[in-house]
Amino acid sequence: MISGMRLPSGMRSARLNAPYGRGKERDMTQQEPSTISQRDLIEASNTAGFFQLLDAHIEEADIGRGKVSIRVDERLMHPQMIVHGGVIFTLADTAMSMALLSTLPADTRISTIEAKINYLLPVRTGELVAEASIVQQGRSIAVLEATVYNIQEGTRQAVARLLGTFHIARQKQAV
């Protein structure tokens, strides 16, 4: 997972035009030109050791959306020969992190405060894809949701749903 992830300092971005409101939704459809690019965010994340270990791939991190995938193989199974729930959770949590990081300045740290997952179906083969989006984002707290799908033989089936709350640790601004 990428909780506590901090992007390299060379990656700069700017806040979205929409104001951070207490209880107000942010406009996730506009992005300033200086916001971190999807390519840079994906590149920084895909080179993280844990993702290389799992052979997971960040596919999307763009204006409040995140997408992460992994091919199912025996390394991901527990003794009952189904994908370990921790793998599914990691994909969903990472997709949510990507969605949130795509809206924040590069020097902003985030961490998962809490998350609730519902496992819907066991997974034995195919590919797992987690897709996430922002439900609500304030100045220091964000709520996101993710769905994990099992894709095999052209069929896409939801296997888990996750709802997570994240802390946004913004840098203090000089007065």
pLDDT top residue among 60 and 37: 60
Question: Is the entire prediction scored with pTM above 0.85?
Answer: no
Q: How wide is the angle at C-alpha 145 spanned by C-alphas 139 and 148, nearest 5°? A: 150
Could you report the per-residue pLDDT of 146-172, keeping only the tens digit for each? 999 999 999 999 999 999 999 999 877
The answer to whether residues 141 and 167 touch, using CB atoms and an 8 Å cutoff, is yes
Q: How is the chain split into domains, by residue range?
A: 38-169
Rounded distance between C-alpha atoms, residue 90 and residue 67, angstroms: 12
| Torsion angles phi and psi, residue 41, rounded to 5 | -65, -45
Q: Given this model, what pLDDT does residue 62 score? A: 85
The answer to whether residues 111 and 131 touch, using CB atoms and an 8 Å cutoff, is no
CATH 3.10.129.10 fits 38-169, yes or no: yes
Could you report the per-residue pLDDT of 77-105, keeping only the tens digit for each? 999 999 999 999 999 999 999 999 999 98
Residue 106: pLDDT band by 50, 70, 90 thresholds? confident
pLDDT top residue among 17 and 63: 63
